[in-house]
């Protein structure tokens, strides 16, 4: 029998469970966070967790689905706005492409109150201590947005083969994920001189732009 309550209260319960789980997973890891810890942190019983999510794996997937949908939605919106400003088929400057992709992630990593910083730590864990099926889910969530950014990058870097551009974007995205999700980078964001996320974003852009525009070795 499902837990009693209106749709609104059910929605609030789901959000409370996910928020609590996000914090626990980031602090203790996926395996180190028990369902008992989760129910205590969320203030719910085990039946409520099972009813809304069915399993721990599904709960983890839903947490990533919630955050990545917003993150990638903002990335797509930024790229579409830039492309609309220059017209169909016109190449964007590579630095604008990088900023459109990474600015939403840096903003999320600097969001202490809304849990964005917690999720970015969790995203880093997903690559170092993966859960079965989670890597495939994250890859699928990124697929459409990465394809769009690849197309834009190929127009911006016409002197490079498509495969080379794809590899460079892969290297850039991997390094940026480590930087943004790492505890050391998040600590820098708390430093008095580094509280503006734009400073971290600018450092990333300058560094990654060099790699993205490096001469093609085969030439």
* Cβ contact 118:23 at 8 Å: yes
Spatial distance between the Cα atoms of 72 and 145, rounded to a whole number of angstroms: 7
pLDDT band at 60 (very low <50, low <70, confident <90, very high): very high
Tell me what pLDDT residue 195 has. 56
- What is the pLDDT, as a whole number, of residue 2? 47
Q: Summarize pLDDT for 143-181 with one digit per residue, the tens.
A: 999 999 999 999 999 999 999 999 999 999 888 888 877
pLDDT value of residue 94:
95
Locate 65 and state its tokens.
Answer: 């689905």
Could you tell me the pLDDT band of residue 82, with boundaries at 50, 70 and 90? very high
Domain range list for the chain? 1-54, 63-212
In the CATH hierarchy, which fold is given to the domain comprising 1-54?
Answer: Arc Repressor Mutant, subunit A (1.10.10)
- Mean pLDDT to the nearest integer, 49-56: 93
Considering only CA atoms, give the Rg of the chain. 20
For range 31-47, the mean pLDDT: 93
Class of domain 63-212: mainly alpha
């Amino acid at each position: 029998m499902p837990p009693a309550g209106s749709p609104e209260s059910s929605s609030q319960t789901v959000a409370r469970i996910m928020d609590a789980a996000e914090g626990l997973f980031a602090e203790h890891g996926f395996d180190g966070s028990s369902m008992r810890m989760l129910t205590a942190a969320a203030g719910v019983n085990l039946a409520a967790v099972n009813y809304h999510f069915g399993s721990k794996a599904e709960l983890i997937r839903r947490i990533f689905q919630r955050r990545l949908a917003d993150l990638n939605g903002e990335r797509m919106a930024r790229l579409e706005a830039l492309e609309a400003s220059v017209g169909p088929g016109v190449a964007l400057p590579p630095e604008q492409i990088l900023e459109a992709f990474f600015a939403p992630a840096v903003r999320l990593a600097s969001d202490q109150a809304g849990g964005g910083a917690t999720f970015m730590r969790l995203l880093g864990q997903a690559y170092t201590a993966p859960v079965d099926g989670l890597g495939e889910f994250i890859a699928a969530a990124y697929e459409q947005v990465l394809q769009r950014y690849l197309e834009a990058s190929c127009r911006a870097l016409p002197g490079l083969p498509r495969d080379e551009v794809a590899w460079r974007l892969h290297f850039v995205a991997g390094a940026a994920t480590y930087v943004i999700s790492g505890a050391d980078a998040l600590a820098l964001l708390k430093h008095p001189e580094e509280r503006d996320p734009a400073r971290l974003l600018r450092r990333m852009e300058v560094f990654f732009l060099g790699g993205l525009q490096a001469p093609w070795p085969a030439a």
